[in-house]
Chains A and B, each alone.
Chain A
Amino acid sequence: MCGIVGIYLKSKKFEKSLGGMLSKMLVSMESRGPDSAGFAIYKSDKNKIYKYSICLNDMSFEKFKKEMKKKVKLTNIEKNSDHVILKSVETPNKILPILEDFSIISLVGYGKSIEIFKQVGKPSNVVKKFNLDNFSGTHAIGHTRMATESAITTDGSHPYSTGEDECLVHNGSLSNHNNLRRKLKKNGSKFSSDNDTEVAAGYISDSLKKRNLKQTLNKGLSDLDGFYTFIAGTHSGFAVLRDEIACKPAVIAETKDYVAISSEFQAMAHLPNVNNAKIFEPEPGIVYSWGK
Chain B
Amino acid sequence: MILDLKNLKLRSVNEKLQNIDRKKNKRDFVISNPEGNHAICAGLTENIDVTIKGHVGYYCAGMNQNANIVVDGNVGTGVAENMMSGKVHVKGNASQSAGATAHGGILIIDGDASSRCGISMKGIDIIVKGSVGHMSAFMAQSGNLVVCGDAGEALGDSLYETDIYVKGKVKSLGADCEEKKMSKKHKTKLKELLKKAGSNIKPEQFKRYGSARKLYNFNIDNVSNY
A residues sitting closer than 8 Å to B (CB atoms) are: 246, 249, 251, 264-270, 275, 279-281, 283-284
Contacts and interface: CB of A to CB of B under 8 A. Distances in A.
B123 to A, nearest CB: 26
Contact of A265 (B55, B114, B115): B55
Given A246-B115, A246-B134, A266-B57, 13 more contacts: A251-B76, A264-B57, A265-B57, A265-B74, A266-B35, A267-B36, A269-B36, A269-B55, A270-B35, A275-B55, A279-B55, A279-B74, A281-B93
User: Closest 6 A-B residue pairs measured CB to CB?
Assistant: A266-B36, A269-B35, A265-B36, A269-B36, A281-B114, A265-B55
Interface string B79-117: 000000000000011011000000000000000001100
Given A246-B115, A269-B55, A279 B36 contact: no
B77 interface: yes
A275 B54 contact: yes
B47 interface: no
A281 B95 contact: yes
Interface of B: 35-38, 54-58, 73-74, 76-77, 92-93, 95-96, 114-115, 133-134
A246 B55 CA distance: 21
A172 B57 CA distance: 20
Contacts of A251: 74, 76, 95
Given A246-B114, A281-B93, A268 B36 contact: yes
B81 to A, nearest CB: 15
A264 B78 CA distance: 13
Looking at chain B's contact residues, the main secondary structure is loop
Contact of A283 (B57, B74, B133): B133
A280 B95 CA distance: 9
Contacts of B115: 246, 284
Contact of A279 (B37, B57, B92, B96): B92
Contacts of B133: 246, 283-284
25 contacts: A246-B96, A246-B115, A246-B134, A249-B76, A249-B77, A249-B96, A251-B95, A264-B36, A265-B36, A265-B55, A265-B56, A265-B57, A265-B74, A265-B76, A266-B35, A266-B36, A266-B57, A269-B55, A270-B35, A275-B55, A275-B73, A279-B74, A279-B93, A280-B93, A284-B134
Nearest to B73: A275
A38 B93 CA distance: 31
A244 to B, nearest CB: 8
A279 B76 CA distance: 12
A265 B95 CA distance: 11
Contacts of B92: 279
A249 B95 contact: yes
B201 to A, nearest CB: 23
A282 to B, nearest CB: 10
Contacts of B55: 265, 269, 275, 279
Contacts of A269: 35-36, 55
B71 to A, nearest CB: 12
A267 B133 CA distance: 24
A268 to B, nearest CB: 7
B193 to A, nearest CB: 25
A245 to B, nearest CB: 8
Nearest to B94: A281
A270 B74 CA distance: 16
Contact of A264 (B54, B76, B114): B76
A249 B75 CA distance: 13
Contacts of B35: 266, 269-270
Nearest to B56: A265
A4 to B, nearest CB: 15
A74 B197 CA distance: 67
